[in-house]
Structure 1
Amino acid sequence: MSVEKHVICHPDLPKPYGAYSTAVQAGGFLFVSGLAGIVPETGQKAGEDFETQARQAFDNLGTCLKCAESSMSDVVRVVVYLTDAQHRDALNSLFGDCFPVDPPARSTPIVELPMGLLLSIEATAICRK
């Protein structure tokens, strides 16, 4: 059985900072690379504080899902990379807003990120396209 892949790119999404795709659809799933709190129009981080960056990152995820004819309710797994464990409470609150019913599986490793970014979100979702 052959599985085709389709790269998702759109001007409303931040441009990747390297040789990778923002998202790839394959075998009924959408695999989303790490999305940070980057404003697509400027390529700059949304702000200095965690909540501003996190909201932009989740907005970017929503846009990416929409471009692939998917949605937040189709997300099955999320990895949220944080630079500081003290942001977990704020993340949990925002996560509850974004996934109010049957939230996806989640891992939250603490890492170092470039450019003063405070989080990065990668996701796997069911793709209905």
Structure 2
Amino acid sequence: MKKIIHTPNAPAPIGPYNQAVLYGNMLYTSGQIAIDPKTGNLEIDDIKSETRLVMENMKAVLSAADMSFEHVIKSSIFVSDMHNFAAINEVYGSYFNEENAPARETVEVANLPKFVNVEISMIAAK
């Protein structure tokens, strides 16, 4: 049976989806972008700050499911400009231990919701 995960510490969904769904011991998150959950404002002026907010939003979603980045087994990173890869990777990498970092793909796309620069989703397991 699936359980809907929701926290006020991450941006509220803006469509017919949820922040995450827990199914058994597996957590499937929706993509997170750089919306400040306290103000609802986008913060996309600096790619490192933008990525950090995305990761903090993801941290809040994981926490709402009693998980952490240690539980993440797969990440998907969508970027609007692959030239930002190094900066995004630097911030993203600071949330994981290299020895047990999750599997991942990074894909450049034409556009992202609200024309942000980066969106990240994850799959985690207990």
What's the % identity of the aligned pairs? Answer: 31
Partner of 2:114: helix, strand, or coil?
coil
Equivalent position to 1:25, from 18, 22, 25: 22
Which residue number corresponds to residue 43 of structure 2? 46
Which residue number corresponds to residue 9 of structure 2? 12
Q: TM-score, normalised by structure 1?
A: 0.91
Which residue number corresponds to residue 35 of structure 1? 32
Following superposition, the deviation at residue 51 of structure 1 comes to 1.0
Q: Distance in 2 between matches of 1:89 and 1:107?
A: 14
Following superposition, the deviation at residue 16 of structure 1 comes to 0.9
- Cα contact 2:7–2:60 (8 A) shared by 1: no
Following superposition, the deviation at residue 32 of structure 1 comes to 0.4
List alignment gaps of at least 5 residues for structure 2: none
Cα shift readout 1:21-52 (whole Å, capped 9, x = no counterpart): 11000021100000011100122212322111
Cα shift readout 1:36-90 (whole Å, capped 9, x = no counterpart): 1110012221232211110000001111111100000110000011000011111
What is the number of equivalent residue pairs in this alignment? 124
Give, as a single letter, the amino acid of the residue that structure 1 aligns with 2:20: A
Q: TM-score, normalised by structure 2?
A: 0.93
| Pairing of 1:95-106 with structure 2 (within 5 A) | 95-101=92-98, 102-106=100-104
| Pairing of 1:83-94 with structure 2 (within 5 A) | 83-94=80-91
Which residue number corresponds to residue 107 of structure 1? 105
Q: Which 4+ runs in 1 deviate beyond 3 A? A: none
| Pairing of 1:71-86 with structure 2 (within 5 A) | 71-86=68-83
- Cα contact 2:52–2:92 (8 A) shared by 1: no
- Cα contact 2:44–2:116 (8 A) shared by 1: no
Q: Distance in 2 between matches of 1:77 and 1:44?
A: 28
RMSD: 1.1
